[in-house]
Amino acid sequence: MLTRLKKKVQEMLTSEAEAAHRLGLTPNTVSAIGLALSLFSAAAYALALRQPLLLLLATLLLLASGFCDTLDGILARNYNQASIFGGFFDSLLDRYADAIVFGSVIIGGLCYPEWGLAALAGALLVSYSRARAEAAGIKMESVGLAERAERMLILAAASLIAIFWLPALNWGIILLAILSNLTVLQRGLHVYNSLKKKADNPAT
């Protein structure tokens, strides 16, 4: 849903990408920094039940990780550093980041475990469904309600509200579980309809 907005944000971050390039940062390095920020964010989530103000730190680190996830792509495109391995590496680290953050929310007792696991499964399957579809030649970008950018913003918003009302994070996780798995369903239907269309019109 936020694909168009993401492209505008990417255009706005060209100066930041230039600064990173001057510092000698490569897209893969920025991706690794993003994972490290996710690890610190996860640590803050794991301890936040005892100290809710840590949710502010967790949110800031989560958003900083998302910033790196955008910046690495801009670096790759603007400075001819895009590669097949780079795309694979970035996607792999994103999945680790998702698993670590959701796992820490669950371990930290900030949500019901079953909903946390459902949200985690949905997040991973959203990415997997895209990878499988695009391997079959079906464009998947912007298909579905909750791509990674939307999921991060929902988690960030719920986390900020939870500083003052802790159950908000649990409700945010429930919303993520529903939306992410609904996105998987949407993508499954999109793939089915696309393949059916190709079968009905083999010459196109």
Tens digit of each residue's pLDDT (9 = 90 or more) over 135-184: 888 888 778 888 888 999 999 999 999 999 999 999 999 999 999 999 99
What is the C-alpha to C-alpha distance for residues 142 and 14, in angstroms, rounded to an integer? 22
For residue 123, pLDDT over 90 is answered with: yes
What is the C-alpha to C-alpha distance for residues 127 and 133, in angstroms, rounded to an integer? 10
Q: So what CATH class is 3-200?
A: mainly alpha
- Would you say 61 and 48 are in contact if contact means Cβ atoms under 8 Å apart? no
> pLDDT, tens digit, for every residue of 42-54?
999 999 999 999 9
Phi-psi region of 147 (alpha: psi -120 to 50; beta: other; left: phi over 0): beta
Kindly list the catalytic residues.
Answer: 94
| CA distances, 179 to each of 36, 122, 175 (Å) | 26, 8, 6
Cβ within 8 Å of residue 176, ≥6 positions away: 119, 122, 123, 146, 151, 154, 155
What is the C-alpha to C-alpha distance for residues 153 and 136, in angstroms, rounded to an integer? 30
What pTM was estimated for this model as a whole?
0.88
For residue 41, pLDDT over 90 is answered with: yes
Question: In the prediction, which pLDDT does 82 show?
Answer: 86
For residue 2, pLDDT over 70 is answered with: no
For residue 39, pLDDT over 70 is answered with: yes
